[in-house]
Amino acid sequence: MKLSIIITFFHGNQYMPRLQQMMIANEEKLHEANKNTGSDFALEVLFVNDSPDEHVAISALNATSRKNWHVVNNEKNLGIHGARVEGLKHATGDYVLFLDQDDELADETALTHLQMAHDHPGEVFVSNCYFEVKDRTNLLYRSDYQKERVGSLDVYLNVGTQIVSPGQCAIPKDAIPEFWMTHIQKVNGADDYFLWLLLLGNEVKFTYVDLPLYTHKYTGENISGETVQTDASVYEFLPYLRESGALEDEEVNLLERMIRYKADFRVAGLFGKGILSLKNLDIFVNNVIFKKKSETPYGFNR
């Protein structure tokens, strides 16, 4: 069984030494497990170069000795969604993990996901993670209530996505909808949310992995925390989501209402926040309940 890690590269050679070390460490963990248990786990690494004016600087050692490492050079910039899809077209793994160039994986990430896939084939595995917000680092999932809802469509529609990044997730390659691969977003930021909604609408099971295998780094370049842009990206995929048929029209309507409510809430004054909440009382109540039961003041949501 093989995991393909697809890394989108955009003027990112400053990250390459660390990325190579992470991939080597994951390979070593797999090699050790295969030797000790007789398993047949493998790792494939694909760097998708979305900056045509710059080459990916992989050291000569890694480039010549690791035949399972590949560079996919885009002839033009495709954006994050397009680059991920291009990597997916070249991936040969049973499972895929999309990684941003400025984020980190634990040494045992590939091994853990492949062990889970061996025991529970066909499921999406979502690990806990650390995420940086300027000068602090948080553990994302801190309560059983929150952990149990990483794959709850109701939460994704009323509260927001509960996954910081696809770097947390190992996804069965054959479960990724063709629709997601052919409806490429131009606005970066929420193609992952789009993918989760399609998968959940197709009743693919999400299983939580209680290990922080991923770290979402705050570099000032990340867009997943930029609410205005990610909201714009959600607005872009809403018509696609309706067209896909993965969700009912009323579910897409709820998602759109939640996104617009939260966007307006963030910029409204106290009186305006109250009026907005009364107009969207169901969403307001669901968010209050979620935050109380998840026992955390924050919630990664759009």
Contact (CB, 8 A) for 7 and 90: no
pLDDT in tens, 281-292: 999 999 999 999
pLDDT at position 64? 59
Per the prediction, the chain carries an average pLDDT of 92
> What percent of the chain is predicted at pLDDT more than 90?
83
pLDDT at position 62? 61
pLDDT at position 302? 44
Q: What band does 28 get if pLDDT is binned at 50, 70 and 90? A: very high
Distance of CA 193 to the CA centre of its chain: 8
Q: Find the mean pLDDT for residues 8-36.
A: 95
pLDDT at position 59? 79
First-to-last C-alpha distance (Å) of the chain: 34
pLDDT at position 298? 52
> What is the per-residue DSSP string for 157-221?
HHT----S-GGGEEEEGGGS-HHHHHS--SSTT-HHHHHHHHHHHTTPPEEEEEEEEEEE---S-
pLDDT at position 227? 77
Q: Find the mean pLDDT for residues 77-85.
A: 96
pLDDT at position 288? 92
Q: Which residue has the higher pLDDT, 142 or 225?
A: 142
Residue 223 has pLDDT above 90, yes or no: no
pLDDT at position 109? 98
Burial call 202-236: b when 16+ CB within 10 Å, e when fewer = eebebebbeebbbbbbeeeebebbeeeebbbbbeb
Which of these, 25, 23, 97, 11, lies nearest to 57 by C-alpha position? Answer: 11
pLDDT in tens, 226-246: 678 889 999 999 999 999 999
Q: Find the mean pLDDT for residues 126-152.
A: 89
pLDDT at position 198? 98
pLDDT at position 300? 47
Q: Find the mean pLDDT for residues 204-212.
A: 97
pLDDT at position 243? 97
Residue 60 has pLDDT above 60, yes or no: no
pLDDT in tens, 88-137: 999 999 999 999 999 999 999 999 999 999 999 999 999 999 988 777 88
